[in-house]
Amino acid sequence: MASNELDRLRALASFADQICGLANDGEEARRRINHLISRSEEDIKTKSLEIQMQQSHIALLKHLDGFMSRPLDAAGQFRLGEAPGAAPGAGPRAIADRK
């Protein structure tokens, strides 16, 4: 990953040199700078989405870990849809009614 970042920095440095070479043509330099900004914004959005996906994945794993560590009932089964401590057979509504 570090080599990819280094390559990107080198490419950006080269691009900056090209822009400096176009000092006489302000419109072309402006267009290239705007292109660079757009590319950077897209990279930031992509990284942000990757971070959100990782956070969601971690939350899901924590939730699954909590589910798997729940005690079994007398029949050796997980009681899906029932709040811990709710009356057996109370169903999913017991979760919403319990406060």
pLDDT > 70? residue 92: no
pLDDT at 91: 53
Determine which helix (DSSP H) or strand (DSSP E) holds 94, and give its type and residue range: helix 93-97
Q: For residue range 3-61, list pLDDT tens digits in order.
A: 676 777 778 777 777 776 666 667 777 787 788 888 888 888 888 888 999 999 998 88
Number of neighbours of residue 31 by Cβ within 10 angstroms: 13
pLDDT at 47: 87
48, 40 Cβ separation under 8 angstroms:
no
pLDDT at 89: 56
pLDDT at 82: 55
pLDDT at 73: 62
